[in-house]
C-alpha cells in the first residue's frame, strides 16, 4: 500500500480506501501511521470502530482468557 499512496507522476489525483469489518480497522491503523497527501475518500463498512460487545464479553470470560486480545485505542 505504501508505494501506491506516495505521490507519483501518475494521472491519479487521489487514493481512496474501502474496508469491510476488520479491514476497516487495518485502514484506520494505516492512516494513523502514514500521512497520505493525496487521500481521497475512506469508506468503512461494518467496521467495529467503537469496539465489540462480544469481544468485551469474551475478554472477561474465563474460557477465553488465554486467547490474544486486540485492543485499539484512539
Report pTM: 0.61
**pLDDT given for residue 39 in this prediction:** 94
Range(s) of the domain holding residue 37: 2-64
For residue 24, tell me if it sits in a domain. yes
pLDDT tens series, the chain, 74 aa: 556 556 665 677 899 999 999 999 999 999 999 988 899 999 999 998 888 888 778 777 777 666 554 444 34
**pLDDT given for residue 29 in this prediction:** 93
If we measure between CA atoms, which residue out of 14, 25, 43 comes closest to residue 4? 14
For residue 54, tell me if it sits in a domain. yes
For residue 14, tell me if it sits in a domain. yes
**pLDDT given for residue 42 in this prediction:** 96
**pLDDT given for residue 74 in this prediction:** 40
For residue 73, tell me if it sits in a domain. no
For residue 69, tell me if it sits in a domain. no
For residue 57, tell me if it sits in a domain. yes
When divided into structural domains, the chain yields a total of 1
With cell 472477561, the residue in question is 60
Amino acid at each position: 500500500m505504501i508505494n501506491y499512496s506516495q505521490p507519483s507522476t501518475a494521472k491519479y489525483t487521489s487514493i481512496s480506501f474501502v474496508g469491510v469489518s476488520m479491514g476497516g480497522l487495518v485502514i484506520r491503523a494505516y492512516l494513523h501511521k502514514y500521512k497520505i497527501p493525496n487521500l481521497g475518500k475512506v469508506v468503512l463498512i461494518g467496521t467495529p470502530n467503537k469496539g465489540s460487545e462480544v469481544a468485551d464479553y469474551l475478554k472477561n470470560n474465563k474460557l477465553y482468557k488465554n486467547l490474544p486480545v486486540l485492543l485499539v485505542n484512539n
